[in-house]
Copies of this chain bind each other. A is one copy, B any other.
Amino acid sequence: MPERARVRRVTLRDIADRVGITPSAVSMALADNHRIGAETRRAVRDAASELGYVPSSAARALRNQRAGAIALIVPTTATHVFGHSYFMHVLEGTSSVANEHDVQLLVATNPDNEHGLAAYERVMRSHSADGAILTSAAIDDPTVERLIDSGLPVVMIGSFPYLPTAVSVGIDDRAASRAITEHLITVHGRTRLLHLSGTLDHQTGVDRRDGFLDAVRAHGLADEAAVIEGDLSEESGVAAASALGAGLAAIDGVVAANDDMAYGVLTVLRRTGIDVPGAVSLVGFDDFGLARVTTPGLTTVRVPAQELARRATTRLFGIMAGQEGWHRSTVPVDLVLRGSCGCAADAGHETVLPV
């Protein structure tokens, strides 16, 4: 295999031989150790770049007892529950911060319940990663606590009220959901509201539902309000709206727990001939891209997923460096008012309002 041969490692030894010093000295020279004279340092640098030296990550990891990598842990179910856009945003945020720290990013998924546990437990135990970002775990996921108890630095994205000592970065889902619901009530005079929730085994689903309930209760509209549990997929939005049938006519506002479900509802309303926002105000949650181009544009809560990931990862590096400090960071979100609630008549226009 001549091709493989070309990959042959360039080591400190090769540089040492060329410059005429020891590997130890080369190591120090490359680390700009003052023990090594300036001219030798330069000679070493030159030789290193000529030979195309790159340190062996394995040797470094073994010697330093640090992997030089962090892991992004993704429970299997999460992709389906949270959607592709959410993960790409998280991946981009995590990845860019890891790059800034010159650290590799491992992505660990749980293939199934049997080996799933092992999948990321192995990551931590084998010390393939020095820390982990965990996103979108279910409320009752037992692996989360195990992971935290293991002592590996972990930062979670989302809300974890049952793990008060865990470090997490998230948004205030409840307040945001309440705010967008109150927008329908106070600005658009809606009184018969439906909430299409996410799965209630995730904290996000619970919090967004509770925010909706906070709003309808505060305005004395609880009796007219209803909640249907969906699963955050567009299909479940279609299904929920379709199942309502004639009952749809009795509703004048729909608060969906994410945009995808809102699209599903929109499709059914349109098919049924119910005007949005004329007869029904419709709002979503997420603002991961498509909300801007639907007709009408979808009013929603903008979740800064990439920013959440960036903060979580930055914090992770802080913890790995020995920092202590806060356990929970909440990132503010915005209401993005477009046409579907009744705000902006013309396509493309939007108003952004901090919650």
A interface residues (Cβ-Cβ under 8 A, vs B): 1, 3-7, 9, 52, 54-59, 61-62, 65, 67, 69, 72, 79, 84-85, 87-88, 91-92, 95-96, 99, 104-109, 111, 115, 119, 122-128, 150-152, 234-235, 238, 263-264, 267, 270-271, 289-290, 292-295, 322
Contact = CB atoms under 8 A, between A and B. Distances in A.
B294 A267 contact: yes
Given A104-B123, A150-B7, A151-B6, A295 B322 contact: no
A322 to B, nearest CB: 7
Contacts of A238: 293
A317 to B, nearest CB: 15
Nearest to A85: B84
Contacts of A125: 52, 54
A5 B151 CA distance: 8
Contact of A95 (B95, B109, B322): B109
A355 B123 CA distance: 42
Nearest to A152: B7
A127 B3 contact: no
- A contact patch SS: helix
A110 to B, nearest CB: 9
Contacts of A55: 126
A115 B99 contact: yes
A57 B52 contact: no
Nearest to A294: B267
Contacts of A85: 84
Contact of A61 (B3, B58, B119, B294): B58
Contacts of A109: 92, 95-96, 99
Contacts of A294: 267
B88 A127 contact: no
A226 to B, nearest CB: 23
A189 to B, nearest CB: 27
Contacts of A271: 295
A46 to B, nearest CB: 18
